[in-house]
Amino acid sequence: MNSRHGHYNKPMNSDESPYCLPMHGADLLFYPDWLTPKAADSLMKSLRENIPWECHRIKIFGREVDSPRLSCWMGDPGASYVYSQTRFEPHPWLPELQNLRERLQSEFECKFNSVLANLYRNSQDSMGWHSDDEPELGRQPVIASISLGATRRFSFKAKTEKAKAVHLELPHGSLLLMRGDTQKNYRHALAKTAKPVGERINLTYRCIAPTKHAL
């Protein structure tokens, strides 16, 4: 970690144990090598070809615009998700994503019933500042974020403090586990970059609970 510049570097021997990110009010575990390079390469190729990617329409400041990335929502029947005032119904699970779900549930003893797949095609695809704090996710959601492909910078910013953003490089095959009050206390983002980068796929596993929330 380079705390003076708010930037976390990949730790040594990171394949043996998780790296706990020391951020007040957050519960974060980072596994830079959760998937082997061979497994990550194979998964990236399969998902790029087999996921029914689409450009979601989202609402920003009252305007409906194209999302700056391609996406696909998958999950159990009934695991619909409201994001940016739009409800998304889940596509059926792909076998590869079902297998990952089972591994995550076994290793971390938590339940996941859905996954959001995002495809960042180049350096101009991005994700704006937000928290995954929708009612469907509950008070302290557990979100497992798997990165494939090009390394991109993931940023956190405290909601109540005038603090600088904290940055984390997410490499191919890595896993970031966000738990506890992380979503309550922090926003996160994946910014555009001037540096040319290749494609990146991000998988965020979640557990959606029934809700009376209406559009």
DSSP sequence for 142-172: -EEEEEEES-EEEEEEESSS----EEEEE-T
Number of H helices, E strands in the chain: 3, 16
pLDDT, tens only, 157-202: 999 878 789 999 999 999 999 999 999 999 999 999 999 999 999 9
pLDDT at 214 over 50: no
Q: What is the pLDDT, as a whole number, of residue 1?
A: 41
The b/e string for 9-39 (b: 16+ C-beta within 10 A; e otherwise) is eeeeebeeebbebebeebbbbbbbbbbeeee
Query: Which positions ≥6 away from 85 have C-beta within 8 Å?
Result: 58, 59, 215
Q: Which domains are delineated in the chain? A: 3-206 (2.60.120.590)
pLDDT, tens only, 48-104: 999 999 987 766 666 777 778 999 999 999 998 877 677 889 999 999 999 999 999
pLDDT, tens only, 7-56: 545 443 444 578 888 899 999 999 999 999 999 999 999 999 999 999 87
- Classify burial at 146, counting beta carbons within 10 Å of its beta carbon; exposed 0-12, middle 13-18, buried 19 or more: buried
